[in-house]
Amino acid sequence: MERITVIGGGSWGTTLANLLVEKGYSVIIYDVSEETVNEINECHTNQKLPNIILNHSLKATNHLVLALTEVDLIVLALPTAYIRTVLKDINKILTKSVVFCNVSKGIELKTHKRVSEIVSDELDENLIKSYVALSGPSHAEEVILKKITSVVASSNDFESAKRIQKLFSNDYFRVYTSTDLISVELSGSLKNIFAIASGIVDGLGYGINTKSALITRGLVEMKRIVSTLGGDESTLNGLVGVGDLIVTCTSALSRNYSFGLFIGKGLSFEVAQEKVKMVVEGTKTCKSAYNLSKELDLKTPIIDSIYHILFDNANPRAELNSLMNRRLIEE
């Protein structure tokens, strides 16, 4: 059996670790929180997944050396802002080549780099056997309950994508493959901005007409960024684009949607963040995407408006009015 380490004991990391344990793999979760580690080991629960009993074979540790001992696969399940720091530590400890699978969704704030690029920056080349991104419309709260879910494993190396596909797939979690890594990583990150926007329009009291327009026009902006950076925009017509937009823009299970809902109802950035109680990746991604679109000279009016609402204290209703009164164009 492969020895698998999941870096990050949040809801998604724990859910995927539990899935792999149930398939018979040897899995350990690494998390810096002693409270989380003890809860998993002693109670077989994780407060981030309320009312769920985890497989008793799932173990956790806050000792990175132990977590990396004889590991074959490392699953990165951390907020993007923390990945570079953890990789620096991994690079000092790891002694052999392993497969890296990233399940986080984000773009690094200052560099605008995707996680695959951060991995290449921080790890010695001989330690990376392959890199795969696992992304798609998937709430941990539903996967842990074994509700049918489909996602995509993407890698520049097709055989590596197939390996992760086989590793994670079961009768309720179906994995497709792709070699369009750029599109999969970017779309998984960018959709969080539009999830925030969706929450805002709901908080303002608008309806399904508004949300439909938001999702479809948001997809256009995502495709502009993806294609400019070398991805295939047609990839976004599938699970990692349309699929992920639907699930994050329409579900209260989405922390980004919930954050936007609080903003739309008039709460401040800080209070909304506090009420969500989890990292809202879309806020950092919005800042990255806004700056990136300016560097690339791309038209991203929805991203621009969300940026102004979050970071310039712009009035949400006024921003929506501004979007509706732009110059009329062909679709």
Enzyme catalytic residues: 191
Q: Report yes or no: 281 and 106 within 8 Å, Cβ to Cβ.
A: yes
Indicate the helix (H) or strand (E) that contains 135.
strand 128-135
Pairing of strands 149-154, 128-135: antiparallel
Question: Residue 204 and residue 207: Cα distance in Å, rounded?
Answer: 9
Question: Residue 242 and residue 240: Cα distance in Å, rounded?
Answer: 6
For residue 6, give the nearest of 99, 96, 120, 85 by alpha carbon.
99
Question: Residue 197 and residue 316: Cα distance in Å, rounded?
Answer: 10
Alpha helices in 176-300 (DSSP H): 181-203, 208-228, 244-250, 255-264, 269-276, 281-296
Q: Report yes or no: 180 and 223 within 8 Å, Cβ to Cβ.
A: no
Question: Residue 277 and residue 53: Cα distance in Å, rounded?
Answer: 22
For residue 225, give the nearest of 174, 185, 263, 264 by alpha carbon.
185
Pairing of strands 173-178, 149-154: parallel
